[in-house]
Amino acid sequence: MEDSSLIEVALAETREKMNKAVSHAQSEFAGVRTGRATPGLIEKLKIEYYGSEVPLQQLAGFSVPEARLLVVTPYDKGAIKSIEKAIQNSDLGINPSNDGQVIRLSFPPLTEERRKDLVKVVRHMAEEARVAVRNLRRAARHDLEGLEKEGEISADELERAEKLLEKMTHDHVEEIDRVLQHKEQELLEV
């Protein structure tokens, strides 16, 4: 294999993993409640369905008829009690109302104190994502240094690759910060 292609492969793998870390952070943020109703809050909730744990998104459809109301429509009406129970046992703090056909979740407005707590939670999630990206950088740097030790790439190529890796890391951390800032604004908006 050609020297530069070894570097390209290592950097491409790292970029893909960093992208996944950013995507994971975004999906984690989606699960943090703002003042609005959104399916992202409950779609990953595990429901006991015929003896196995199934994500709610596979058992029901969601609609948001108004900003603070989420309607869950089960595909199988027999699962409605299991869905209701799972929502009650979740950490959402919302009592579902069930009319036999659909489950309605009414989201009360968040208090100022709760908003600040949620901001702390998302900041912690963002820091975990930043750490994950930096760990990926460290692993990639270790791999590149190994290639140099084995004589697969030169010291100059290693230096150039490390600069590219550093820029990639910086870009991904900036993306996490941008997503965090957006989520914070969303949480603090009344």
Q: What pLDDT sits at residue 35?
A: 67
| pTM of structure | 0.70
* Domain 3-31+111-188 falls under CATH 1.10.132.20: yes
Q: What pLDDT sits at residue 3?
A: 57
* pLDDT, tens digit (0-9, with 9 covering 90-100), for 139-176: 999 999 999 999 888 989 999 999 999 999 999 999 99
Q: What pLDDT sits at residue 144?
A: 92
Query: What DSSP assignment string belongs to 34-49?
Result: -SS--GGGTTT-EEEE
Q: What pLDDT sits at residue 106?
A: 85
* pLDDT, tens digit (0-9, with 9 covering 90-100), for 2-51: 557 888 998 999 999 999 999 999 988 877 766 677 787 787 788 888 88
Q: What pLDDT sits at residue 32?
A: 77
Select from 1.10.287.130, 3.40.50.300, 3.30.1360.40, 3.30.200.20 the CATH code of 39-106.
Answer: 3.30.1360.40
Run of H or E residues at 60? strand 60-66
Are the C-beta atoms of residues 45 and 30 closer than 8 Å to each other?
Answer: no
Q: Residue 55: which residues within 8 A CB-CB, separation 6 or more?
A: 43, 44, 45, 46, 47
* pLDDT, tens digit (0-9, with 9 covering 90-100), for 110-123: 788 878 888 888 89
Are the C-beta atoms of residues 107 and 33 closer than 8 Å to each other?
Answer: yes
Q: By three-state DSSP, how is residue 185 classified?
A: helix
- For residues 92 and 41, give the distance between their C-alpha atoms in angstroms, rounded to a whole number: 8
Q: What pLDDT sits at residue 90?
A: 78
* pLDDT, tens digit (0-9, with 9 covering 90-100), for 71-128: 999 998 888 888 888 888 877 777 888 888 899 988 877 788 878 888 888 899 999 9
Convert 99-167 into a string of H (helix), E (strand) and C (coil): CCCCEEEECCCCCHHHHHHHHHHHHHHHHHHHHHHHHHHHHHHHHHHHHHHCCCCCHHHHHHHHHHHHH
Domain assignments of the chain as residue spans, ordered by start: 3-31+111-188, 39-106
Q: What pLDDT sits at residue 117?
A: 83
Q: What pLDDT sits at residue 2?
A: 56
Are the C-beta atoms of residues 31 and 44 closer than 8 Å to each other?
Answer: yes
Residue with more model confidence, 37 or 180 = 180
Are the C-beta atoms of residues 172 and 24 closer than 8 Å to each other?
Answer: no
Q: What pLDDT sits at residue 42?
A: 82
